[in-house]
Amino acid sequence: MICEEYKKRYPEFTKFPLAMEIHESDEYESWQEHGFDCESCELWDTEQQVIKRGHNPSDFPCIHIAYHSTMTCDEHKDPWECPDMTIIKTKDSYGIPVRDGGSSFIEISHCPWCGKKL
């Protein structure tokens, strides 16, 4: 599969719930493998997820920070309570939450995934 085909099939293959006949198809498997193997498409996919959440990826230092800091949880309305939140955006910085029952966090100056200065 080539990148153009991956992007073209993205709307079809990211619908929820995904029909079982699509999920079990060779086309879907090929599409999914390309997404895992192609760094360019993986980053593009991450960008699409941030956009679906209603955010502009260019408002963030990098796509990784955009993705992780815009995550939401159906179970926990407060990101400080959600164990799946890996990056918290405060007024002036980004940090890794400390799960101590409060709002403690370890401030970070670079993206843990790509190293970009925040």
pLDDT digits (tens, 9 = 90+) for 15-33: 888 888 888 999 999 999 9
Q: What is the DSSP letter of 54?
A: T
Summary mean pLDDT of the chain: 92
In the structure, what pLDDT confidence band is assigned to residue 68 with cuts at 50, 70 and 90?
A: very high
CA 61 from centre of chain: 14
Which residue carries 């970009």 as its tokens?
Answer: 116
Residue 13 is predicted with a pLDDT of: 92
Kindly state the average pLDDT of the residues 29-38: 95
* Pick from 2-11, 50-59, 98-107: least confident: 98-107
In the structure, what pLDDT confidence band is assigned to residue 101 with cuts at 50, 70 and 90?
A: confident
Residue 96 is predicted with a pLDDT of: 94
Q: Using CB atoms within 10 A of its CB, is residue 4 exposed (0-12), middle (13-18) or buried (19+)?
A: exposed
Judged against a pLDDT cut of 80, whether residue 1 lies above it is answered with no
Residue 36 is predicted with a pLDDT of: 93
d(CA 68, CA 34): 22
d(CA 2, CA 22): 19
Antiparallel, parallel or unpaired: β 105-108 and 94-97: antiparallel
Domain locations in the chain as residue ranges: 56-118
